[in-house]
Amino acid sequence: MTAPIQSKLKRAINIFMLMAAGEGTFLLPFVLARVFRPTVLDVFGVTNLQLGKAYSIYGMVALVSYILGGPLADRFPARRLMTLALAATACGGLLFARIPPPGLLNWLYAFWGVTTTLLFWAALIRATREWGGSLSQGRAFGLLEGGRGLLSAMIASVSVVVFARLLPANGLSATLAQRSAALLTVVWAFIGITLGVAVLVWIFVPEPKLEDSPGNTRKLTLEVLWMAMRMPPVWLQATILVCAYVSFRSIDLFGLYARDVLGYKDVAAANIGLVAFWVRPFAAMGAGLLADRIKASRVIAICFGIVIVGSLTIASGAVRPGMHWLLVAAVAATSFGIYAARGVYFALIQEAQIPLAITGSVVGLVCLVGFTPDIFVPSIIGHVLDGAPGVVGHQRVFAMLAGASALGLVCTLLFQRSTRKRLPE
């Protein structure tokens, strides 16, 4: 095998491992409830508000972890940090499989807030930026998000099939014990996948040489964070992430909307949720390729427009029982806009000409602000849905998500204006 082919193969394996790690670490905390939310609520005996509080606790812990994990990623190799994070997250799954009560579930999500952010997130983003170089940031982050989406869709689809096969032919006749046993089978599968990915990351992700990663020698000082805080595009990017992340929360609600408003059964509702999973890889990869041609900020502006239309379609009450095609179209369009934006919003770091050596610190600062919706949005959604069950609650939530996207569109246009004089057209 020639040297160029070996080099391409190593790069392909490297980005694939980043994809697998990027999705594997979130299977237990988020993917499970996203696909099986109605069943999770029933089996764990919690309300939307209680589950929302667990996510909020995760978000509060994660915010502190983001700002600390950024400089950590500038100092230590991604391979070590990601392997440790994946293994620790899987260990948390052992407690999750015991169906803990709400109080203990909160502590578990706090633990996952540390493992998936302090040790993992900034390291993943920095490794992806290094993989993309100066000319292919859109492709790098598009591949990361799209690959994560493809793996997630495949895993979620198989898990729905397994879940369905473990229930009686008529899903409505399944007892709570049967649904609980089926869900736990999926939980144990997710634990195994997460541990397996940890091993593969340790084996296949390269550990960069010291001279290839000058940022790794940077001391963990406030000077680095202060440098990032003085850059206006960093704050605009953080606000864009806030709006995009609020909109992202609609992904958790598609299956619940199908069951509680349109009368779908559990398995059919889970299949509606799968639409978003399968849109994700194509949206993210397509956005990544387009971003390298027309800039990431322009792609994100288009994405926010798409999300506004999709969310308002649901919020307006246009989707009614029996209108399966319109439901699928609204879910697909909204998901496309959300995941396309997610595929390239970290490419804004390169568009803003942020030095590579402080990538981790900038990521930590951006995520500190950008992911604050983890704290308040789940609780707000839970409060709205529990306070107005059925169609009214869902309409209010999707209207809120459309408003967040409108604000995101404005911030994206301001970001373009702030960087126009610094970058060649």
Tens-place pLDDT, residues 389-408: 888 898 999 999 999 999 99
* pLDDT higher than threshold 80 for residue 45: yes
What is the mean pLDDT of the segment spanning 85-105?
A: 95
* pLDDT higher than threshold 60 for residue 421: no
- If one counts every other C-beta atom within 10 angstroms of the C-beta of residue 325, the result is 9
* pLDDT higher than threshold 50 for residue 114: yes
pLDDT of residue 17: 94
What is the mean pLDDT of the segment spanning 147-175?
A: 82
Radius of gyration of the CA atoms of the chain, in A: 21
Domain borders along the chain are 11-420
* pLDDT higher than threshold 80 for residue 237: yes
Q: What is the pTM of this model?
A: 0.76
pLDDT of residue 210: 47
What is the mean pLDDT of the segment spanning 41-48?
A: 90
Q: Is 91 exposed, middle or buried (0-12, 13-18, 19+ CB in 10 A)?
A: middle
What is the mean pLDDT of the segment spanning 182-199?
A: 95
* pLDDT higher than threshold 90 for residue 185: yes
User: 346-360 pLDDT, tens per residue?
Assistant: 888 888 877 777 777
Q: Does domain 11-420 have CATH number 1.20.1250.20?
A: yes
* pLDDT higher than threshold 70 for residue 202: yes
99: left (phi over 0), alpha (psi -120 to 50) or beta: left
Higher pLDDT, 45 or 374: 45
pLDDT of residue 100: 94
* pLDDT higher than threshold 50 for residue 425: no
What is the mean pLDDT of the segment spanning 211-224?
A: 49
Asked if 207 contacts 102 with a C-beta cutoff of 8 angstroms, the reply is no
User: What confidence tier does 76 reach under pLDDT thresholds 50, 70, 90?
Assistant: confident
Side-chain-facing half-sphere of 262: CA atoms under 13 Å: 27
* pLDDT higher than threshold 70 for residue 424: no
**What percent of the chain has pLDDT above 90?**
35
Higher pLDDT, 198 or 362: 198
* pLDDT higher than threshold 60 for residue 261: yes
Q: Is 303 exposed, middle or buried (0-12, 13-18, 19+ CB in 10 A)?
A: buried
Listed in sequence order, the residues at least 6 apart from 218 whose beta carbon sits closer than 8 Å to its beta carbon are: 71, 74, 75, 224, 357, 358
* pLDDT higher than threshold 90 for residue 319: no
* Mean pLDDT computed over every residue of the chain: 85
CA–CA separation, 230 and 117 (whole Å): 24
- CA quadruple 277, 281, 286, 287: dihedral sign: positive
User: What confidence tier does 260 reach under pLDDT thresholds 50, 70, 90?
Assistant: confident
